[in-house]
Amino acid sequence: MIKNDKENLDKNERVQDIKPGDPSEEQKKFYRTIADIYIKGACKNKGGVFKSNRAIFFALALAFFILAANAGCTQPEIDSGRNTIGNPTVALVIEPKDARVITGSYKQFAANAVDLEGKYTKVKPSWSATYGRITADGEYVAPEEPGYSVITAKFGTVAASTQIYIDSSKEIKNFFIIPESGEIEVGRSIQLVCRAQNAGGDFMQVLPSWDSDVGNITNTGYFSAPGSPTTAKITARFGRLEAYSNITVISVRPRSISITPNQVTLAAGESQKFYPIVYDGYGNVMSPKNIIWSTTYGKISSDGVYTCPDTPAAAQVIARIENVHGFAYVNSSSGSTAVRIDISPANAVLRIGESRQFAVSAYDVNDNLVALPAAATWSAVNGTVNSNGVFTAYPASAGLATLKAFSGTLSKEITLLITE
């Protein structure tokens, strides 16, 4: 049944509509300068002395009459409460005006006090609603049946009212969860949001109930993944409507690898064991068992032991897990001197917030790979880079980023493309 309490709105509680902004001209004409306007119109001032006391009396009486009539007809009586600058409050302005919601949803209201000079001050009034309920903070919760409600705010003796229409949830044409699918690592959390749209494509605020078959989810849609890989089916319910999201819970993934030692010099036949240190996306050390070792020259065993060949030359040692790489460098005791360094990959496109591993290599005058003059250091613009060469794009905006590597007196800079 449609409820309609519009006729119950007490005319004595209605106030003149005052639009947000700077109404100083209207307020000054209506409240503060009206007496001056009528005085100037009723008598002439010469040398600071009025010619007619009767004119003065007439102007003041007329101004008082207009103010009193205005207060009695369209404005509530000026209350004893005052705003932050001490001026009496003459009106309240409620925002938003003439709102619409759907059954079971919510809408936030706020109120501003207006003084004689037309200045607005945010206040915390008492709230009431003729249908549905509204909290002390102005949050209106719509009932389960469509209808119409009058929202009233009172501050001292000043009151204002607005209206809100409660539409049926049948008006909702699209009801969905953002994201509808995704991945999250075990033990991590993600915020889900439920959205509703009417036939015109306008978004409507809803307060659904949430449920998940695994992990935990709060009544605000904050999902916490369990401690083992699985798939979570998350459900949002609003009246007769349901929406779903499938979140895949995955094992913690490696994000970067550093190798120690990072650089060694070996003679023919000498060996060196290298040790990988694997980090997740939060900087925590992991203990993976499936490291794959390779080298650009010489031999390296499956457990990271490198052996320099009979003809020594510079080599790069690579540790890989999934698509993450770490690098170390071997210099021969009779090797050439590096004259330039390069960064790989030289061209990369990253999404906002994405991380990528980069490596630096050194070359001699004949473009032979040689050892780095010194351990590589990094710098970045429009992103961050750690000591292992893992660059992360800033989440601020898409565009170009620069990545620069240094080794001894040599340096190399590349440009990266960051997309949304």
> How many Å apart are CA 334 and CA 308, to the nearest integer?
12
One digit per residue, the tens of pLDDT, for the chain of length 420 reads 334 444 444 433 433 344 444 444 544 454 454 445 444 444 444 444 444 444 444 444 444 444 444 444 433 333 334 444 456 878 999 999 888 888 878 889 999 999 888 889 999 999 999 999 999 999 999 888 889 899 999 998 899 999 998 887 777 888 999 999 998 888 889 999 998 887 777 787 777 889 999 999 999 999 999 989 999 999 999 877 899 999 999 888 888 898 999 888 888 888 999 999 998 877 788 887 789 999 998 899 999 999 988 877 788 899 999 888 899 988 876 556 788 999 988 888 888 878 888 989 888 887 878 878 888 899 999 889 988 888 888 866 678 899 999 998 999 999 998 887
Specify the pLDDT at position 23.
Answer: 47
Specify the pLDDT at position 399.
Answer: 86
Neighbours of 306 (CB within 10 A): 22
> How many Å apart are CA 272 and CA 301, to the nearest integer?
10
Whole-Å CA distances, 191 to 185, 211, 234: 14, 13, 12
Whole-Å CA distances, 250 to 226, 231, 355: 10, 8, 18
Q: Residues 281, 250: contact at Cβ < 8 Å?
A: no
Q: Indicate the CATH number of 254-419 among 3.40.30.10, 2.60.40.1080, 3.30.930.20, 3.30.830.10.
A: 2.60.40.1080
Specify the pLDDT at position 313.
Answer: 79
Give the type of residue at 371.
A
Alpha carbon distance, N-terminus to C-terminus of the chain: 48
CATH classification (class only), 171-250: mainly beta
Q: Residues 410, 338: contact at Cβ < 8 Å?
A: yes
> How many Å apart are CA 420 and CA 404, to the nearest integer?
23
For the chain, which residues make up each domain, given as ranges? 6-166, 171-250, 254-419
Whole-Å CA distances, 237 to 194, 195, 206, 420: 9, 11, 10, 31
> How many Å apart are CA 10 and CA 3, to the nearest integer?
17
Give the SS3 label for residue 414.
strand
Q: Give strand ranges (E) for 192-291.
A: 193-198, 203-204, 209-212, 216-217, 222-224, 230-238, 241-250, 254-260, 263-266, 271-273, 275-280, 285-286
